[in-house]
Structure 1
Amino acid sequence: TVARPLSWMLRRLLSCSSGVPVMPPRPGESPQAASEEVSRRMQFLREHEVPFYAFLTDSFSRQHSYLRVSLPEKCNLRCQYCMSEEGVPLTPKMLTTKEILTLAWLFVKKDVEKIRLTGGEPLIQPDVVDIVAQLQRLEGLRTIGVTTNGINLARLLPQLQKAGLSAINISLDTLVPAKFEFIVRRKGFHKVMEPGYNPVKVNCVVMRGLNKDELLDFAASTKGLRLDVRFIEYMPFDGNKWNFKKMEMLETVWQQWPELEKLPEEESRTAKAFKIPGFQGQISFNTSMSEGFCGSCNRLQITADGEPQAGASKQELLRIIGAAVGRKKRQHMKNRPMILIGG
């Protein structure tokens, strides 16, 4: 196989968890220039005896121990905030399972502790159970998670848990069946709700005029179940007709439960967590648009449309990763459609 230019591979490999490329193309940059820059970084680290973990520390001192891996770009739903009604063009060539596992091994070997499988919809990947089983064998990997729309989860959950899956996020934006079909443009509400997973995180994208009136219903669902309902601000993506107006989500819940308690925050938190006294579960608020959390981001994402191993050795991949992380931007810029970046 003829290797593609190193600069091309660097641009395709990694993005931050929002899907923004961590290494945007430089006009007129030659493969030789990109290779020389990587070599200089490698030489500096060798001379200063810096551990490889420095490769996963960007220029803003953010250390990355959490890797998100997009499996397919395809999805069995058509959520309005995720893609336009006419769909999005998909990349014809995706990462192979072998490439995914090789990259995962490299990251875990260098101190990544958590891997989350995303999509598109990861549970339509034919060999997703085998991928989880292979990841579970990686020494040092503490958590294997999946973010799913839940349509195939009931059928696959026993196999996934046996293989080593340890964390589940379900995307669910309404508790009303008819509204569910309107938002996702497909049927399937009963497939998501019937199993009654416990514990689990529920990701709810809050949209004014559509499901904001269900905030209290979602919060009330944590009374008898160990759920973490995460209310997520509607974000701009290509084709979703985004128009930002800050919604006072926390204030809405506080008015109903003034005794709401704030929970301690993790250093790399993406949401502010609260608990209603006496309830088993909790609620969280992901306010990436009104109160960004990029400064504490510990995430990297491998998108499904890369081709990082076209003739590259493992040592070359290590260099690619180091250079890409070194160029990660301070904060979100323009986002591609959500389906292409893993939700």
Structure 2
Amino acid sequence: MTNTSTHSKPILQDSFGRDHAYLRISLIERCNLRCTYCMPADGIKLSPKSHLMTSDEIYEIAKTFVKNGVTKIRLTGGEPLIRKDIPVILEKLATLPVTLSITSNAVIIDKHIVNLKKHKVNKINISLDSLDRARFKEITLRDQFEKVYKNILLLVKEKFEVKVNVVLMKGFNDDEIIDFINLTKDLPISIRFIEFMPFDGNKWDIKKMVSYKEIMERVSASFNNKDIIRLQDASNDTTKNYKIAGYQGAFGIISSVTNPFCDSCNRLRLTANGKLKNCLFSASESDLLTTLRKGQSIEPVIKKAVEAKFKVRGGMDTLKKLQEPKLHNKNRSMITIGG
């Protein structure tokens, strides 16, 4: 039920009239990989365990969001599946009237297939930035490519809806764009190319970014234009979706740097230590967990945070502002935000 009255607007509606029905919850700041664009080279200062949300607190906060209009929850990390109480968290959240999904690096996902099915977590996003074993190790600092690839095939076999997220970086993996698209020939998966985004400690440089335009130029050079089919995007979709004629799967581009999709943004993020971020690019956070632990209502804190949301990318409404280190270095590193 949405929290409305004749005198007030819903607490999940911002000052630009955007309704937020999608909550991404980070369960943990730790990961079993160390991807360089996500985790700063020097590591991060982890929150003490006592500062992280318990499974009960995750459920209570999620329940408040669902009461106010959230219909979709995605679990992220770090790597959410390394949290020991993940079965309990799934069991609790599965009682809410929402679509549950998860983002994982797939290293240990084979151990969780039964539990994911049991709680109707059918949509799985997998992070994979290279199809080359040596490159995979270079970016993740772990030799786990074979395991990840095998688990992607297992998820497909087990009829999960699989999306593979690829962060493109110029001179590193941009020569694999067509290799990734060719995976969709025989696999019913969606490949999603993501423009490299700036976060604290990831040495972001716009010169490393492969833009939407550049990706499509590569696609046009490799396939006949009449075979490149533009698909209908879902409402509030962050992705421009395509498929190659005759291929089982599809591919898409998330261009949050060159073509931000802020006008239709319906997403909010909850960090593992209970802070609400109203935008991936925003440096400001609102502490829900401390309020909850004091026994107070978190609804006023949520309302204030949602109302404060900028129209575009945490206020960085131009590429020039996005290239100002002092603006995006105030933000967390990606691993502590949650994908």
Global fold match (TM > 0.5)? yes
For residues 312 and 332 of structure 1, do their structure 2 counterparts lie closer, same or farther at Cα, with a shift above 3 Å needed?
Answer: farther
Matching of residues 167-178 of structure 1 within 5 Å: 167-178=123-134
The residue type paired with residue 263 of structure 1 is: L
Instruction: Give yes or no for the alignment of 1:129 onto 2:112.
Output: no
Q: Structure 1 residue runs of 4+, over 4 Å off?
A: none
Which residue of structure 1 aligns with residue 163 of structure 2?
201
Matching of residues 155-166 of structure 1 within 5 Å: 155-166=111-122
Which residue of structure 2 aligns with residue 57 of structure 1?
13
Stretches of structure 2 lacking an aligned partner (at least 5 in a row): 275-288, 315-327
Which residue of structure 2 aligns with residue 255 of structure 1?
221
Which residue of structure 2 aligns with residue 91 of structure 1?
47
Which residue of structure 2 aligns with residue 30 of structure 1?
none
Which residue of structure 1 aligns with residue 293 of structure 2?
310
Instruction: Give yes or no for the alignment of 1:319 onto 2:300.
Output: yes
**Is 2:55–2:88's contact at 8 Å kept on the other side of the alignment?**
no
Name the CA distance, whole Å, in 2 between partners of 1:261 and 1:106: 41
Name the CA distance, whole Å, in 1 between partners of 2:20 and 2:189: 26
Which residue of structure 2 aligns with residue 115 of structure 1?
73
**Is 1:133–1:164's contact at 8 Å kept on the other side of the alignment?**
no
SS in 1 for 2:101: strand
The residue type paired with residue 112 of structure 1 is: V
Instruction: Give yes or no for the alignment of 1:105 onto 2:63.
Output: yes
Q: Deviations over 1:54-91 (max 9, x none)?
A: 11110111110000001011111110111222211112
Which residue of structure 2 aligns with residue 297 of structure 1?
265
SS in 1 for 2:298: helix
Structure 1 residue 273: deviation in Å?
0.1
The residue type paired with residue 322 of structure 1 is: K
Which residue of structure 2 aligns with residue 221 of structure 1?
183
Stretches of structure 1 lacking an aligned partner (at least 5 in a row): 1-41
Name the CA distance, whole Å, in 2 between partners of 1:126 and 1:163: 17
Which residue of structure 1 aligns with residue 242 of structure 2?
274
SS in 2 for 1:232: strand
State the structure with bigger RCO (CA 8 A, min sep 6), 1 or 2.
Answer: 1
Candidates 252, 256, 265, aligned match of 1:284:
252
Candidates 50, 64, 79, aligned match of 2:35:
79
**Is 2:101–2:122's contact at 8 Å kept on the other side of the alignment?**
yes
Instruction: Give yes or no for the alignment of 1:341 onto 2:337.
Output: yes
The residue type paired with residue 256 of structure 1 is: S
**Is 1:222–1:282's contact at 8 Å kept on the other side of the alignment?**
yes
Instruction: Give yes or no for the alignment of 1:148 onto 2:104.
Output: yes
Structure 1 residue 166: deviation in Å?
2.0
The residue type paired with residue 311 of structure 1 is: K
RMSD of Structure 2 on Structure 1 (CA): 1.5
Q: Deviations over 1:151-210 (max 9, x none)?
A: 111111222211221210000000111111101011211221113022300000001111
Q: Deviations over 1:16-69 (max 9, x none)?
A: xxxxxxxxxxxxxxxxxxxxxxxxxx9xx75x3446xx1111011111000000
Name the CA distance, whole Å, in 1 between partners of 2:90 and 2:122: 10
Structure 1 residue 133: deviation in Å?
1.6
The residue type paired with residue 167 of structure 1 is: K
For residues 78 and 86 of structure 1, do their structure 2 counterparts lie closer, same or farther at Cα, with a shift above 3 Å needed?
Answer: same
TM-score, L = length of structure 2: 0.83
Q: Greater CA radius of gyration, 1 or 2?
A: 1
Name the CA distance, whole Å, in 2 between partners of 1:137 and 1:144: 10
Name the CA distance, whole Å, in 2 between partners of 1:229 and 1:137: 30
Which residue of structure 2 aligns with residue 25 of structure 1?
none
| Aligned residue pairs, count | 293
Provide the identity percentage.
43
Which residue of structure 2 aligns with residue 185 of structure 1?
141
Q: Which moved more, 1:171-180 or 1:186-195?
A: 186-195
Candidates 226, 233, 253, aligned match of 1:265:
233
